[in-house]
Amino acid sequence: MNTKQTLVVIGNGMVGQHFLTKLVETAAKDQFHIVTFCEEPRAAYDRVHLSEYFTGKTAEDLSLVSPGFFAEHGIEIHLGDRAASIDRQQKRVTSANGVVIAYDKLVLATGSYPFVPPVPGHDRAQCLVYRTIEDLEAIKAAAEKSKIGTVVGGGLLGLEAAKALTDLGLETHVVEFAPRLMAVQLDDGGGAMLRQKIQALGVKVHLNKNTSLIDDGEQCLHKMNFADGEVLETDLILFSAGIRPRDDIARACGLEVGPRGGIVIDNQCKTSDPDIYAIGECALWNGQIFGLVAPGYTMARTAAADLAGAEAGFTGADMSTKLKLMGVDVASIGDAHARTQGALVYTYQNGSSEIYKRLVVSQDKKQLLGAVLVGEASGYSTLLQYCLNGIELPENPDSLILPQRHDESVGLGPDALPASAQICSCHDVSKGQVCGAIEAGCTTMGQLKAETKAATGCGGCAALLKSVLDCELIKQGVEVSTDICEHFPHTRQDLYNLIMVEQIKTFDELLDKHGRGLGCEVCKQAVGSILASYWNDYILEKPHIGLQDTNDTYLANMQKDGTYSVVPRVTGGEITPDGLIALGQVAKKYGLYTKITGGQRVDLFGARVEQLPLIWQELIAAGFESGHAYGKSLRTVKSCVGSTWCRFGVDDSVGLAIELENRYKGLRAPHKIKFAVSGCTRECAEAQGKDIGVIATENGWNLYVCGNGGMKPRHADLFATNLDKETLVKYIDRVLIFYVRTAARLQRTSVWMENMEGGLDYLKAVILEDRLGLAEELEQQMQHVIATYQCEWKTTLQDAQKLKRFRHFVNSDQADDNVVFVEERGQVRPANAEERRHFKLIEEAA
């Protein structure tokens, strides 16, 4: 007998999904059978980062639903089926497909739709809107037939849409009715600065424009006619002139709606029918529609809590916002327009660096009421905290926006924040909750994010979260040891600097000067790697030999039975038939198991130490060289076949991959480094999952950095676009050496980036703008590594002393009798323990 009540949720957008995830965390989960209707063909995805769909993210990447979520919680989801009507008397919802569900409680999360001004011609072909993934697909298809694209609307969403058009390679125009961009959030000065910066990026901005008619163009598909008599020709029009709440279903069943739309709700998010809630952009609270995701999430939490019988209330939301529009930082806080009685305004404008800042403070200069930041928004978190928590301003409030000449810091220390201060607005995490998690044992950003979810939404609060973490740890007296091991009271980065500054050439010298004891496998390998990165000496020189792990010592990869695998370099994955034959012959001769690797080369398994020099003699004679598969160093540069053969190829990815692999081969680093080069945006080489990824565009190469596959996949960050080869190589040189210098021990580039203070922006500043003045030095260091490259196997084969190590016994030519192979699928494999015992018995019997 089913005693559960039925809860129907109409709409599975960001807010609808957030509601579901919050509800299933409460006890109400067991009280309700949950049914949700989703009109789109896919469940909830991240509309905030929609434009990333054009820079490589897929619909799956944008999904907000963890795999198996609906099944796990027994939620019945009707995908691609729109809820069409509500019968409040019978308490039934009927869908467009004719599904009828009786409800006990109903939640409306129908969201909003893009407002399209009723201009004659607005419904012509290639006149589109920007809201769903289907919209994006239509835009992409239309863009392929277009040269010029125009966005109607210069608000936050309109500028996002404009970015999408530029990403698609269109000449982009923005047409705005108001006299400035982002009219809601910015004042005239901020709007003007934003316009200047966006125009410098090639987007043409037309203000004070009222479109009166769209008809046939002469050069383009459309001609837009404006009320002032001017015209603009364009192939594609995107309407982004604001949103309207989707309240039709509520209207039709007689729920109270606002005079200009929106389903009226109270503080518990209940509509005029106490069994029906409305949340998100369809809801009207206190005469206000909230078109941002954070207030929608707050409503979702409120409704979920109310259904679970907990006390909760929605009492409005802060509409402050910070975002990056086409690379331009823009932020708006509170009363940006100084509408408060008696408000005073401070502005700072720097024409040469294109920065505009404005503070709105109370008459007594004690409270911050609002702010506008354009071009530089690093102070956003601090200002927001002043504003939201009513923290008293410093004596000269303008010090908060004036540039800092020295090292003086006017940032608001985390100590100044009350426990109730909201750190993460996306997930509503307070400073008190963060401190609680730290007290409970979180000591890293990763742990803190996993525990509290803070900084996992838009990520805007990451820097603030980090400063709270650091501050709390220091207060607790927790000394977080960053020493590499018990033998050196230093981090890997410290050791790197000591070696560089004091020009130290051996581990012994470093240990004598800065360490204690004998060392261990941790510090020895780290120092071995640093010495190899910096001096690039042959790693098997006597002073370095004890610093190498077995793989580096034998220049091969140890497998589970103590034999090794051999991986010759196959640059860019390009190999001749003769090369393949030579590999096959060697494998056959030495009885090796062969497997194609993920990095487009061939791995030969089952070589005994004494066989390694013999194998390499033959490989080198056939033209191969060491592939460094054994080292923490550059591994492979994977490539697709590129424009040479591929119908869709835009540039020669194989050629570039070979060039890059030859340039960086042998570079020792804190961990292995993988590259890939794709010849077009289809991305067959999967470059965005690599430490360094390069993708060909019509106008050059796009560079991606710090991606990873493996245990914790990370999409690489787009670092620079449309580069010529020379610039591309220069940037890669710098990034790699900066990584080598500053990463922790065994830290891949992805984790290095995650932990870097200032993140991607900081790395860009260092590499692209040379903020540290290091660029030339970094390039020179790379030049040294390239100039001193040697094939370690070639060097080893020429040295009889070194070859002495390649035998199992120092006093016998016998082989290790514990290595036993059996056959499987036509090749050898190591015998398992059972099989080995069996062989031993046979041997002993004989």
- Which residues inside 673-712 make contact with another protein, applying CB under 8 A? none
Q: What is the dihedral of CA 652, 658, 662, 668, to 10 degrees?
A: 100
Q: Is 596 in the site for another protein (CB under 8 A)?
A: no
The DSSP output letter for 844 is H
Closest approach, Cβ 497 to another protein, in A, equals 23
Residues touching another protein: how many (CB under 8 A)?
35
Q: Out of 405, 406, 560, 825, which residue is the one contacting another protein (CB under 8 A)?
A: 560
The structure tokens 């790697």 sit at 529
Shortest CA distance to 185 belongs to which of 54, 325, 281? Answer: 325
Closest approach, Cβ 519 to another protein, in A, equals 4
Q: Is 545 in the site for another protein (CB under 8 A)?
A: yes
Nearer CB in complex with another protein: 320/553: 553
Q: Is 812 in the site for another protein (CB under 8 A)?
A: yes
Nearer CB in complex with another protein: 184/815: 815
Closest approach, Cβ 532 to another protein, in A, equals 15
**Applying CB under 8 A, which part among 197-205, 347-355, 596-604, 804-812 lies near another protein?**
804-812
**Applying CB under 8 A, which part among 74-82, 455-463, 513-521, 599-607 lies near another protein?**
513-521
Shortest CA distance to 583 belongs to which of 604, 605, 559? Answer: 604
> H helices then E strands: how many in the chain?
27, 38
Nearer CB in complex with another protein: 548/571: 548
Q: Out of 385, 553, 557, 639, which residue is the one contacting another protein (CB under 8 A)?
A: 553
Closest approach, Cβ 332 to another protein, in A, equals 53
Closest approach, Cβ 140 to another protein, in A, equals 50
Contact present, 74 and 4 (Cβ < 8 Å): no
**Applying CB under 8 A, which part among 244-252, 553-561, 776-784, 787-795 lies near another protein?**
553-561
Q: Is 525 in the site for another protein (CB under 8 A)?
A: yes
* Per-residue x/- track, 744-773, another protein (CB under 8 A): ------------------------------
Q: Which residues contact 302 (CB under 8 A, 6 or more apart)?
A: 267, 268, 269, 279, 312, 313, 314
271's tokens: 């509509």
Shortest CA distance to 739 belongs to which of 751, 752, 728, 755? Answer: 752
List beta partners, residue 35.
Answer: 8, 76
Shortest CA distance to 36 belongs to which of 70, 1, 85, 2? Answer: 70
Q: Is 405 in the site for another protein (CB under 8 A)?
A: no
CA distances from 622 to 125, 574, 586, 790 (A): 61, 15, 10, 17
Nearest-angstrom CA–CA distance, 263 and 276: 11
Contact present, 642 and 651 (Cβ < 8 Å): yes
Q: Which residues contact 79 (CB under 8 A, 6 or more apart)?
A: 38, 40, 41, 42, 43
Nearer CB in complex with another protein: 468/504: 504
Nearest-angstrom CA–CA distance, 667 and 536: 8
Nearer CB in complex with another protein: 489/562: 562
Closest approach, Cβ 481 to another protein, in A, equals 16
Q: Is 518 in the site for another protein (CB under 8 A)?
A: yes
What's the gap between Cα 461 and its chain centre?
A: 15
Q: Is 549 in the site for another protein (CB under 8 A)?
A: yes
Q: Is 550 in the site for another protein (CB under 8 A)?
A: yes
Nearer CB in complex with another protein: 560/825: 560
620: helix, strand or coil: helix
Closest approach, Cβ 811 to another protein, in A, equals 5
Nearest-angstrom CA–CA distance, 604 and 622: 15
Number of CB atoms found within 10 A of residue 229's CB:
7
Q: Is 519 in the site for another protein (CB under 8 A)?
A: yes
Nearest-angstrom CA–CA distance, 419 and 269: 27
Q: Is 436 in the site for another protein (CB under 8 A)?
A: no
- The pair phi, psi for residue 827, each rounded to 5°, is -135, 170
Closest approach, Cβ 740 to another protein, in A, equals 22
**Applying CB under 8 A, which part among 549-557, 570-578, 611-619, 643-651 lies near another protein?**
549-557
Closest approach, Cβ 831 to another protein, in A, equals 11
Q: Out of 798, 811, 826, 844, which residue is the one contacting another protein (CB under 8 A)?
A: 811
Nearer CB in complex with another protein: 226/538: 538
Closest approach, Cβ 543 to another protein, in A, equals 9
Nearer CB in complex with another protein: 218/813: 813
Nearer CB in complex with another protein: 356/554: 554
**Applying CB under 8 A, which part among 58-66, 511-519, 670-678, 725-733 lies near another protein?**
511-519
Q: Is 554 in the site for another protein (CB under 8 A)?
A: yes
DSSP letters for 624-648: --B--TTSSBEEEEEE--GGGT-SS
DSSP letters for 117-163: ---TTTTSTTEEE-SSHHHHHHHHHHHHT-SEEEEE--SHHHHHHHH
Closest approach, Cβ 785 to another protein, in A, equals 25
Q: Is 810 in the site for another protein (CB under 8 A)?
A: yes
Q: Out of 395, 804, 823, 834, which residue is the one contacting another protein (CB under 8 A)?
A: 804
List beta partners, residue 596.
Answer: 602
The dihedral built from the CA positions of residue 666, 668, 672 and 678, taken in this order, carries a sign that is negative
Closest approach, Cβ 846 to another protein, in A, equals 17
Q: Is 486 in the site for another protein (CB under 8 A)?
A: yes
Nearest-angstrom CA–CA distance, 609 and 629: 16
Q: Is 286 in the site for another protein (CB under 8 A)?
A: no
**Applying CB under 8 A, which part among 139-147, 581-589, 665-673, 803-811 lies near another protein?**
803-811
- Give, in degrees to the nearest 5, the angle at Cα 434 between 432 and 435: 65
Closest approach, Cβ 822 to another protein, in A, equals 16
Shortest CA distance to 817 belongs to which of 799, 800, 840? Answer: 840
Pairing of strands 211-216, 276-278: unpaired
Q: Out of 88, 204, 808, 829, which residue is the one contacting another protein (CB under 8 A)?
A: 808
- Give, in degrees to the nearest 5, the angle at Cα 328 between 739 and 137: 90
Count Cα neighbours of 20 within 13 Å in the Cβ-side half-sphere: 31
Closest approach, Cβ 809 to another protein, in A, equals 5
Closest approach, Cβ 487 to another protein, in A, equals 7
CA distances from 187 to 179, 195, 331, 360, 559 (A): 10, 12, 11, 11, 65
Q: Out of 18, 431, 487, 632, which residue is the one contacting another protein (CB under 8 A)?
A: 487
Contact present, 135 and 169 (Cβ < 8 Å): no
Q: Out of 818, 822, 840, 843, which residue is the one contacting another protein (CB under 8 A)?
A: 818
Nearer CB in complex with another protein: 406/804: 804
**Applying CB under 8 A, which part among 313-321, 440-448, 637-645, 807-815 lies near another protein?**
807-815
Nearest-angstrom CA–CA distance, 834 and 298: 60
48's tokens: 């905030």
Q: Out of 242, 258, 562, 579, which residue is the one contacting another protein (CB under 8 A)?
A: 562
Q: Is 524 in the site for another protein (CB under 8 A)?
A: yes
Contact present, 677 and 709 (Cβ < 8 Å): no
Nearest-angstrom CA–CA distance, 232 and 634: 52
Q: Out of 244, 805, 829, 838, which residue is the one contacting another protein (CB under 8 A)?
A: 805
Q: Is 520 in the site for another protein (CB under 8 A)?
A: yes
| Contacting residues toward another protein, per CB under 8 A | 486-487, 517-521, 523-525, 542, 545-550, 553-554, 558, 560-562, 804-805, 808-812, 814, 816, 818-819, 833
